[in-house]
């Protein structure tokens, strides 16, 4: 098995022992692995391999080297983002790591001390933190369908790329993506600029960079070793 695939599957199983992995053909000698993380994001990585068709299997079976693992297509319940993605910004990987560390420290402090001196349930606190917007990108590209769009990247996406090891240079095997570059201004939650617009690397994502992507209603972060995607839930309608 490809070593990058093994690392991807091992991390996926660490967060969910019953995880499914979806395999999709991605060109000659390449296959895209897709998985769902417990905090509501999808993670994907393209590795060396072969899959004759789009199919879903147990991650544990694939990692164990099963020659023909049982298909579990009916159990895959997540839509996938459109294939073509627009790249709206390139961030230093250090910024993404700093956001992840700050979020972890905030959660630890709140669990120990509460919020404003009041205890908060761990699940409620975790969900609120995951929904917090870590990076905001305002697209500035006159004439583009993306012009003026505000792209929000929540902590749950940042946690996905860091905890799945997608920023690790020694685990990188970047592949080209169909991306549409644009110019953007990036601001942290407090409104402090963290990066200026930079064209994405044409051959993939550099070891010290992370791309902010848009594909329809989906937003994502692409590290050198894979991509995490998130689609916010639509507004719920309740009778009045």
The pLDDT tens digits of the residues spanning 135-194 come to: 999 998 888 888 899 999 999 999 999 999 999 765 654 443 433 333 333 433 333 333
Provide the pLDDT confidence category of residue 197 given band limits of 50, 70 and 90. Answer: very low
Domain that holds residue 159: 85-230
Alpha helix segments (H runs only) across 136-225: 155-163
Residue 90 and residue 36 in one domain: no
Provide the pLDDT confidence category of residue 1 given band limits of 50, 70 and 90. Answer: confident
Predicted pLDDT of residue 125: 73
Predicted pLDDT of residue 239: 44
Residue 57 and residue 93 in one domain: no
Residue 67 has pLDDT above 50, yes or no: yes
Residue 80 placed within a domain = no
Chosen domain end from 56, 75, 94? 75
Residue 16 and residue 93 in one domain: no
CA 13 to chain CA centroid, nearest Å? 16
Residue 125 and residue 12 in one domain: no
Residue 68 and residue 107 in one domain: no
Residue 238 placed within a domain = no
The pLDDT tens digits of the residues spanning 100-119 come to: 999 888 877 776 665 555 55
Residue 233 has pLDDT above 60, yes or no: yes
Average pLDDT over residues 42-56: 94
Provide the pLDDT confidence category of residue 203 given band limits of 50, 70 and 90. Answer: very low
Residue 36 has pLDDT above 90, yes or no: yes
Chosen domain end from 27, 53, 75? 75
Tokens describing residue 193: 């600029």
Residue 40 placed within a domain = yes
Give the Cα separation of 80 and 74 in Å (integer): 15
Residue 16 and residue 135 in one domain: no
Give the Cα separation of 112 and 109 in Å (integer): 5
pTM: 0.81
Domain count, the chain: 2
DSSP-derived letter for residue 139 is E
Exposure string of 184-200, with b = 16+ CB inside 10 Å and e = fewer, is bebebeeeeebbebbeb
Tokens describing residue 87: 């790249």
Q: Which position has the higher pLDDT, 204 or 190?
A: 204
Residue 69 and residue 179 in one domain: no
The pLDDT tens digits of the residues spanning 114-127 come to: 555 555 566 777 78
How many CB atoms lie under 10 A from the CB of residue 88?
A: 28
Q: Which position has the higher pLDDT, 173 or 94?
A: 94
């Amino acid at each position: 098995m490809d070593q990058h695939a093994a690392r991807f599957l091992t991390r996926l199983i660490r967060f969910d022992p019953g995880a499914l992995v979806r395999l999709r053909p991605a060109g000659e000698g390449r296959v895209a692995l897709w998985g769902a993380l417990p905090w509501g994001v999808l993670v994907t990585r393209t590795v060396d391999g072969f899959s004759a068709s789009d199919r879903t299997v147990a991650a544990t079976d694939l990692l164990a080297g099963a020659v023909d693992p049982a298909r579990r297509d009916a159990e895959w319940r997540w839509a996938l983002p459109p294939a073509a993605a627009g790249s709206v910004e390139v961030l230093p990987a250090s910024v993404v790591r700093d956001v992840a560390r700050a979020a972890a420290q905030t959660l630890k402090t709140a669990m120990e001390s509460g919020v404003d001196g009041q205890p908060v349930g761990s699940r409620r606190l975790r969900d609120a933190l995951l929904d917090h917007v870590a990076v905001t990108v305002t697209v500035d590209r006159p004439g583009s369908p993306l012009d003026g769009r505000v792209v929000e990247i929540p902590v749950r996406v940042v946690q996905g790329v860091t905890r799945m090891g997608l920023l690790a240079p020694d685990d990188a095997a970047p592949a080209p993506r169909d991306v549409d570059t644009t110019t953007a201004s990036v601001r942290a939650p407090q409104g402090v600029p963290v990066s200026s617009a930079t064209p994405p690397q044409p051959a993939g994502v550099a070891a010290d960079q992370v791309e902010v992507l848009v594909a329809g209603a989906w937003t994502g972060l692409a590290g050198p070793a894979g991509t995490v995607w998130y689609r916010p839930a639509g507004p719920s309608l309740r009778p009045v």
